[in-house]
Every structure is written in structure tokens, then in C-alpha cells.
Amino acid sequence: MSCRLALNFVMFLALFFLALSAAAELTPASPQQLVRETVDNELKPDSDLKFMFRDHKQTPHGSSTKLMVQTTEAMAGVVIAYDGHPLNQQQRQAELARNQRFIHDPEELRKKRKQEKENEDRISRIMKALPDAFLYEYDGAEPGRKGIGEAGVELIRLRFRPNPKYNPPSRVEQVLTAMTGSMLIDPRKKRLARIDGTLSHDVAFGWGIFGHLDKGGHFLVEQGEVDGNHWEITRTDLAITGKILLFKSIRFESSEVFSDFRQVPRNLTFAQGLQMLAKEAQSATNPIAPACCEAAK
């Protein structure tokens, strides 16, 4: 073998093993491992970046559009339209009163933050349960797009079904015992781009005494890159029916799309956030009276 041929062969081997190493990083030994690594990454403390964005919510009763902003104290928001129409005078007054109570009464703001924290804790518990609650299998790949991962980046698709060995520690996680569906994961950044689940059978709580959720209930959560390496939830769908305490029927159906993310100061207070929203709403096509935030000055 000539020196030139030997050198080319060595270079080929080096490139071959480099490609193998890269493939190993993108495709873990098992889908279960990929989910566990992704969940661990999702649960890490997020950056302290703050954003203003638009929230469009659709329910069977109509739609609402809000301007939202993340602050150091709680999420601030103002409604700017119902069913695509700007607020009338009565609706603007109601929005004024709703926001003023958080400024005039610190206890109301504390309750709001407490509720948000409880929701965050429930989501965290569900996330922590994902690696053990389901059995996973690879189901191909698809490119990321606006609002789902990073545009153009290949996402791994997994199918999941309930793990019969999983024992939910509370009612929060119990719903997972009947959930089947799919998820999309960015294998490089270990981020969850989409999870789509459906209840394959009824879920009873407390042997049915506390209530149940009906078969067919559905939820969808999507998140994507909104600013460099920062990801935010961009869409949520939820449709469930059932009963509480045997006799009270529940029916909930909504779809929310979050868009137009823009960075705001990291140390933004709730009062400052309301002021910022008021100015933004004035320039929107569906304005809201700036008086809603006069108390924040």
C-alpha cells in the first residue's frame, strides 16, 4: 500500500468514526434514554429572559386576544379583543377593574402568583413522570418549523403508550396511565417540541368517588425557539369531558396560540409590565384604554 493510499485510508477511518460518534449523540441507545435526558434538560432552571407576546384563545363560546408580559412577580395581561372585535366601553371598564385590583391590593397579586406557582408545580410533576409513565418507540423524524422546535432542524418522533409497571404517586400523574400518543424531540438540544396525547380509556379518581375523565380526552402542547437558544410554549390544545363527585359534569375545550414574542427588561415589575402593555395596546389594531394602568405609575 502506497503512503498516499495509506494516508487516504486513515483519513477515511477518522471521518467514519467521527460520523459514528455524531450519530450516537443524535440517536441515544434507547428512546427511553432520550426522553429521560430531555426531561432532565427541560426541568433545569430556565434563563431569566422575559418576553411580551400575544395570546389568542379559542373556545366553543368564542375567542379572546390578549397581550401578555412576563414580569418578576407574575404574568401580566390585558384583553384587547373578543371574537376579533375591539373591546367596547363596558368591556374596557371591566378590564380596568380587573387589572387595578392587582395594583391596589398586594394580596390579590400574591394569590395570582401562588396560583401560577401551583400550575408550574403540576406541570413539573407531569414532566418528571414522563420517562417512567410511558413505554416509547421510535417513529421516524420530521423537520422543525415555526412554533415547533427550530425551523429546519430534524426532530425525532416517538410513539408512547402507558407503562403497566408505572404506579402514579398522586391524582396529578394518574391521567398518564391512560394516555397514548406521540412526541417530537430535538435530539441535539434535548428539548421537547411537541407532545400529543389522547385518553385511551376512562380515568377514575379515588375509585370513581372523586370523579373521572372520559375516554377520548385530548391534549397538545407545542414549543419552539423564539429568540436564539430560548424556547417558549407556542400552542396548547385541551379537550376533556368527565364528572366530579359522581354528579357534576365537566366539559372543557380550548385552543391557545402564543406568538409575536419580544424581549423586555429582565427586572420588569408587575406594575411596569401593565404600563408597557397599555402602551402596546394603544398602538394595536384592537386598542384598550390606557387608563387600565394609570395606577401602576
Contact 211, 243 (CB under 8 A): yes
Q: Please tell me the pTM assigned to this model.
A: 0.82
pLDDT number for residue 56: 97
Q: Taking 50 as the threshold, does the pLDDT of residue 13 lie above it?
A: no
Q: Which residues of 21-53 are buried (b: 16+ CB within 10 A; e: fewer)?
A: eeeeeeebeebbebbbebbeebeeeeeebbbbb
pLDDT number for residue 203: 86
Contact 209, 244 (CB under 8 A): no
pLDDT number for residue 264: 96
pLDDT number for residue 99: 87
Q: CA-CA distance, 89 to 92, in Å (whole number)?
A: 5
Q: Quick one: which of 155, 158, 165 has its CA closest to 136?
A: 158
Give me the percent of the chain exceeding a pLDDT of 90. 66
Q: Could you read off the pLDDT of 161-215 as tens digits, one per residue? A: 999 999 999 888 999 999 999 999 999 999 999 999 999 998 887 645 567 789 9
Q: Taking 90 as the threshold, does the pLDDT of residue 116 lie above it?
A: yes
- Can you say whether the dihedral through the CA atoms of 67, 68, 69, 75 is positive or negative? positive
pLDDT number for residue 46: 76
Least-confidence region, from 180-184, 230-234, 290-294: 290-294
Q: So where are the chain's domains?
A: 29-296
Give me the percent of the chain exceeding a pLDDT of 70. 83
Q: Taking 70 as the threshold, does the pLDDT of residue 85 lie above it?
A: yes
Contact 39, 128 (CB under 8 A): yes
* pLDDT grade for 5, boundaries at 50, 70 and 90: very low
pLDDT number for residue 210: 64
pLDDT number for residue 289: 38
pLDDT number for residue 234: 97
